Chain A
Amino acid sequence: MKHKIIEIVVQPSGELHIDAVGFSGSDCERATAFLEEALGLIGQKIRKPEYNHRVVRNQVQNISV
C-alpha cells in the first residue's frame, strides 16, 4: 500500500500548488477537497495517470481533461 501524503508548495506570490501523492482514482480529490475549499480560487487542475487507475476486470476507462 502506497504511503499517502499531500504536498503543498506556497510561492512567494501567495499562489500555491497542491499535489496528492500516493493516491489512486478519485480518492485524491476527496483528500484535498478541504484544502481547495479553504484556501481560495482553483486555477488549473491536472489529473495524472494514476487518477484513472482502477482495478477493473474487462474495461479500461480514459477520462480526458
Chain B
Amino acid sequence: MSHFVTIKTQIKDIGALRSACVELGFSIDENAEARGIGTQQRGDFVIRLKGPCDIAVQRQDDRSFGLSTDWWGGHVEKEVGANYGRLLQLYAVHKASREARKRGLTVRRTALQSGAIKLTLAGV
C-alpha cells in the first residue's frame, strides 16, 4: 500500500447516473420538470422517484451535475438516503467500474456489513 485518498463524489457522467438509477428502480427523463410539493423545477435531466417528489439534475459551470429536490416530508430521503447518499454511492460504484473496465481491469464488487460497497480492481 502506498497511498490512500478520500474523495467526495461528484456527478460527471450521466450514463453512470442512469445505471445507478436503474439499480435503484428509477427512470431518468431528459429536459423535464421535477415534481415537488406544490412546486416544480426544471432539470436538464430528472430522476423520477416513486413518491411525490423527483430529483432535478442540472449542468454546472464546472461540467459536473448538481442535484436539487424538495426534501419536505422525508419522501426523497426515504428513497435515496440523506443528502442523496445512496444515489451517490451507487453512482460512484458504477462510474468507478466503468472507468476500470475501459482500462481492461477486472472489477469485483462486495457489499460490506457497514452498508459500504467495496470494489476490488485487478489487472493493474
Q: What is the interface of chain A, defined by CB distance below 8 A to chain B?
A: 3-25, 27-29, 31-32, 34-36, 38-48, 50-51, 53
Q: Out of B12, B83, B95, which one reaches A13, CB within 8 Å?
A: B83
CB neighbours (8 Å) of B85 from chain A are 11-14
A26, B5: Cα distance in complex, Å: 14
Interface residues on B, range: 35 or more
Q: Which residue of B lies closest to A15 (CB)?
A: B8
Interface of B is mostly: mixed
- At the interface with chain A, which of B39-47, B50-58, B69-77, B116-124? B116-124
Could you mark each residue 86-124 of chain B with 1 if its beta carbon is under 8 Å from any beta carbon of chain A, else 0? 111101110110011001010000001011111111101
With A7-B119, A11-B116 in contact, do A19 and B89 touch (Cβ < 8 Å)? no
Q: Which residue of B lies closest to A49 (CB)?
A: B2
Least CB distance, B72 to chain A, in whole angstroms: 21
Q: Which residue of A lies closest to B92 (CB)?
A: A10
CB neighbours (8 Å) of A17 from chain B are 4-7
CB neighbours (8 Å) of A39 from chain B are 7, 9-10, 92, 95-96
With A7-B119, A34-B99, A39-B10 in contact, do A18 and B4 touch (Cβ < 8 Å)? yes
